[in-house]
Structure 1
Amino acid sequence: MESTGGSGDVPEEIKGWNWGAFFLNWIWSIFNKVWIGLLALVLPFIPVVGGIGVLVMAIVLGLKGSEWAWKSRKFESVEQFKKVQKAWAIWGLVIFVIGIVIMVSTWSIVAGMLFGSGASLDY
């Protein structure tokens, strides 16, 4: 079965949550030709929407990304589609975990510098 890129029915076995689209929203969108995902680049600059908008966009891409990618890009088969999307999910998780480790490390270093030196901040 070959995706015809924009036409035809979406196979049931590919419907469902897409971790790659969720974690790597705008990057995933470019490579899968799901242009609505580029909103994740613009939303942080809209004052009222900001980070909440990015989170909502990530959730929408997680929910609908597989269907949109199937319709937007050509795949040789359902198996190839699943393989490609699994790779995106793995890389998304790896980058997410690295980001968490960097944040926790940074917070720990800053907290150690502020509170672990024995210096008093009382005036």
Structure 2
Amino acid sequence: MENTATTATIPDEIKGWNWGAFSFTYLWGIGNRTYLPLFALIPVFSIIWAFVCGFKGNRWAWQNGDYQDVASFKQVQATWNRAGVWAFAVNVLVSILVIIYFQLLITNLGHPFY
């Protein structure tokens, strides 16, 4: 069977958001042999670049990967997507807890915590 991953066309089935590329940027890039996500190592720029990786991740992985068909591509990226969604959810939860903690700390300044 011909390796369709090397062709210039991107199948419609794989277009869309990639949570793995968004959440794990450069790690996802190394794992998928696409190195543009390494730009996420640049401070501040990494925030913007994470969104670019989320939008372009499937395209980059398809073009640089060694996938025999769309099904094998989707199977690999499904694992990255599950991990990416969990990582994003944990980061949001931790951020909310930190904000609540510091809000409580600020409102109780000058008062002992006992």
TM-score range, shorter chain: 0.7 to 0.9
Give the distance between the partners of 1:107 and 1:84, measured in 2 at CA: 35
Change (3 A) 1:109 1:79: same
Give the distance between the partners of 1:15 and 1:73, measured in 2 at CA: 15
The one of 82, 92, 103 aligned to 2:95: 103
TM-score of the superposed pair, with normalisation by structure 1: 0.74
Post-superposition Cα deviations, 1:3-43, rounded to whole Å, max 9, x if no partner, equal 466x32332321232222122211111100110110001x2
Could you tell me which residue of structure 2 aligns to residue 86 of structure 1?
78
Could you tell me which residue of structure 2 aligns to residue 24 of structure 1?
24
Give the distance between the partners of 1:66 and 1:113, measured in 2 at CA: 43
Give the distance between the partners of 1:71 and 1:21, measured in 2 at CA: 15
Give the distance between the partners of 1:2 and 1:97, measured in 2 at CA: 39
State the AA in 2 paired with 1:56.
I
- Where does structure 1 lack aligned partners over 5 or more consecutive residues? 45-49
Give the distance between the partners of 1:32 and 1:56, measured in 2 at CA: 20
TM-score of the superposed pair, with normalisation by structure 2: 0.79
- Percent identical pairs in the alignment equals 34
Question: What secondary structure is seen at the aligned counterpart in 2 of 1:24?
Answer: helix
- Where does structure 2 lack aligned partners over 5 or more consecutive residues? none
Contact 1:2–1:75 (Cα < 8 Å) also in 2: no
Contact 2:2–2:68 (Cα < 8 Å) also in 1: yes
Q: How does 1:24-103 map to 2 (within 5 A)?
A: 24-41=24-41, 43-44=42-43, 50=44, 53-103=45-95
Contact 1:18–1:66 (Cα < 8 Å) also in 2: yes
User: What is the CA RMSD across the aligned residues, in angstroms?
Assistant: 2.4
